[in-house]
Structure 1
C-alpha cells in the first residue's frame, strides 16, 4: 500500500477502503476532456481496471483541456482511447485497461458494464447519458454524471434504488443550455472541477465507506458561484427507468446516421464498409487515401471522410445527415 499511503491516511478511505478500490472496475464513456481527467485520477487512485469507450481521435483543439494527449497524438490522429491507454500505462503499468474505438450503443454498453462496479459519464449529449442511465439501473450499477461548458460545471451521482431519483427524473431540473464546447468554448478549470466532484463521489462508492445522498452540485467558476441542491424529492412516480423498469433507451432503434454535437461532423454506420471494402473501392476509383492502424482517411471533392475498421464513417465539414449519407452513397454505391 506504499504507493497509496497518502490516500490510505485519509480517514474516510483508510486501509480497508484502499483495498476495496484496488479490486474495482470502472467504465468511462467518452475519453475527451472529462474522460481523460477522470481516467488519470482513477489510475492514480489505484483501481484494478479501466474500460474506455470513445469513437473519436485526437485533434489539435483537444490539447487545451484533454490532459492525457500530446501534440504527437494530434498529428498522428491517434484514437483517443489508444492515446489515453498509452499515457495511463506510463503512470500505472500494472493497471488493466480495455479499450473500444466505438460508438456507444446499448449492446456495447450492456456487454462491457456487466462486470463493472461503476460507470462514469464523459460524454457531451443527453441521448448517451439516458442510455447510461438505463443500463446502470438495469444492471444495478452506480453511475456518475458530469458536464461542463464555458466556465460552468455540474455533477451528480446515481445509485440504483427505487427510493432515489435517477437521471431521467432530474432532466426537468438540470441546467438547460444548447451551448457546447465547440460553439461556446470552455476553460480547463471547469473540466477539472466537474471531474473533481465526479471522482470524489467515485471514491466514496468504490471504497464502500460512505452512503451518497441524492444531490446535484453545479456552479460557475468565472462568477465564483457554487451550490448543491438535494434531489431526494424529485423522483418521478412513473419514471420508466427507476420506477417502472421499462428502460426505453434499451429498446430504442439505434440510429445509423446522426450529426455529432457541435462538431460539423456526421457519423454514418454501415456494416458493409469494412476496411478492406473501403480500401478496395478507393483504389478502384483512384481516390488517394491515408491508412493508419485504426482508420482510413480520404477526401471526396471538398469533404474529408474518416472510415474506421468496423464500418463507421465520420464525414467532416457538414451537419446535414442526409447530405452525409448521400456523399457516402456517391463514393461506395
Structure 2
C-alpha cells in the first residue's frame, strides 16, 4: 500500500468540518481504556480503532463462546472453537484492522487495584462491562483521577449511555436511585444486536468529540432508548449532582474502592468452590428467584427455605437469601464471577 493510500485512511472524518485535522490529531494522541470486551466493548474498540485513536487498552476476564458471535463483532467461529480469551482475540483482529495504532490486551478480572494500574496516561474510560459492581469501581477511579468516562449498557431491546465528566457532571453514584439503571443481563433477558449498535454509536460519537477537543458538542443528557418499542428519551440529570456524594462531592471518600463496598470472591479451600458475596447485604425472595431461574431454562432448580440451587454444566450455583452464592466446579475466581453475573447482573 502506498503512502498516499495510508494518508487518506481518515480523510472522510477529517473532511467533516466540525471535526477536521485538529480533531484527528487529538485522536491520534489519545489513549482509551475499554473495560470489557463483550458486545459493547468490541463495538467500541473497532469503531475507535478505525477512527484512529492512538492507543487502545482492552481488559476482559472471559473467553469467546458461541453465543457471543450473534453480537460481538470482532470474533469468529475459530475463536469460539479455540475458546480464546476475548481480550487476546480482539487485539489480534484490531491489529488487522489498523496496524498503525497501539493495541494492549489484558486478560484479567479487573478490580480496583488492577484498574488503577491500567489508568496510567489514559484520557478516557469506556464502559463495556456487564455488572454494576465494576461500573461503580470505574466511577470512583474516574473521579479520583479526574478521567472522563462513558457509561453504557444494553439488555433486551433497551440501551442507555451517559458521558461523565469529573467535576462537571453528576457521577454514576449520584444517579443511583434517580434513573432506571436496571439489573437484568443478556443471559436473563436476551439482547438484540441493534441495541448494542446504538449504544456503541452514541458512546463513540461522544468519545471522538471529547478526544478531538470538541467538548462543546458533548451531549449533556442521559440517553435511553428501546429499539423494539420505538422509544427514545433524553433525560436532563444535571440536578442529580449531589454535594454530599461520597464519590464526587465536596469531600469524596470513593466508597467503591473499599473492600467493604465491593463484591468479594473467595476460593474455599479444598472444595473446588468459589464464594461470591455482593457489595452490601441483600434480601432475595427465594421463591421468585427460583421461578425466574426456571423460566430462563437453568438446569434443575431446587429450593428450600434457605437457598436456591441449580446446575448448568460444568457448574452448580447455590444462592442464599442474603445474595451470597457458592459456585461449585471451579476454583477460578474469574470464571465463577462470570457465571454469577450471567444470572445476577
Q: Offset at 1:237?
A: 2.1
Contact 2:316–2:328 (Cα < 8 Å) also in 1: no
Question: What's the secondary structure of 1:110's corresponding residue?
Answer: helix
Q: Distance in 1 between matches of 2:104 and 2:181?
A: 34
- Hey, what does 2:327 align to over in structure 1? 324
- Hey, what does 2:259 align to over in structure 1? 252
- Hey, what does 2:158 align to over in structure 1? 152
For the structure 1 residues 179 and 323, does the alpha-carbon distance in structure 2 shift closer, same or farther, using more than 3 Å as the test? closer
Aligned residues: 280
Which residue of the other structure, out of 166, 182, 188, is the alignment partner of 2:187? 182
Q: Offset at 1:326?
A: 8.3
Contact 1:153–1:191 (Cα < 8 Å) also in 2: yes
For the structure 1 residues 45 and 268, does the alpha-carbon distance in structure 2 shift closer, same or farther, using more than 3 Å as the test? farther
Residue 77, structure 1, aligned to residue 83, structure 2: yes
Q: Offset at 1:319?
A: 5.2
Question: What's the secondary structure of 1:175's corresponding residue?
Answer: coil
Q: Deviations over 1:87-131 (max 9, x none)?
A: 101101122111111111111111111210000000111111111
Q: Distance in 1 between matches of 2:88 and 2:275?
A: 22
Q: Distance in 2 between matches of 1:141 and 1:210?
A: 14
For the structure 1 residues 322 and 167, does the alpha-carbon distance in structure 2 shift closer, same or farther, using more than 3 Å as the test? closer
- RMSD of Structure 2 on Structure 1 (CA): 2.4
Q: Distance in 1 between matches of 2:274 and 2:44?
A: 26
For the structure 1 residues 13 and 49, does the alpha-carbon distance in structure 2 shift closer, same or farther, using more than 3 Å as the test? same
Contact 2:149–2:163 (Cα < 8 Å) also in 1: yes
Contact 1:7–1:14 (Cα < 8 Å) also in 2: yes
For the structure 1 residues 151 and 255, does the alpha-carbon distance in structure 2 shift closer, same or farther, using more than 3 Å as the test? closer
Which moved further from structure 2: 247-256 or 24-33?
Answer: 247-256
Q: Distance in 1 between matches of 2:329 and 2:98?
A: 45
Q: Deviations over 1:66-87 (max 9, x none)?
A: 0000110001000000110111
Question: What's the secondary structure of 1:195's corresponding residue?
Answer: helix
Instruction: Give the TM-score taking structure 1 as reference length.
Output: 0.79
Q: Deviations over 1:30-69 (max 9, x none)?
A: 0000000000000000011111000000000000000000
Q: Offset at 1:177?
A: 2.9
Q: Offset at 1:164?
A: 2.3
Q: Distance in 2 between matches of 1:255 and 1:153?
A: 25
Show structure 1 runs of 5+ residues with no match.
Answer: 259-265, 270-301, 305-315
Show structure 2 runs of 5+ residues with no match.
Answer: 1-6, 267-272, 277-311, 333-345
- Hey, what does 2:64 align to over in structure 1? 58
- Hey, what does 1:119 align to over in structure 2? 125
Q: Offset at 1:303?
A: 5.5
Contact 1:114–1:139 (Cα < 8 Å) also in 2: no
Q: Offset at 1:234?
A: 1.0
Q: Deviations over 1:185-233 (max 9, x none)?
A: 0010000001111001101110012333531000100111111112111
Instruction: Give the TM-score taking structure 2 as reference length.
Output: 0.76
- Hey, what does 2:146 align to over in structure 1? 140
Q: Distance in 1 between matches of 2:84 and 2:206?
A: 31
Which residue of the other structure, out of 92, 96, 103, is the alignment partner of 1:86? 92
Contact 1:165–1:214 (Cα < 8 Å) also in 2: no
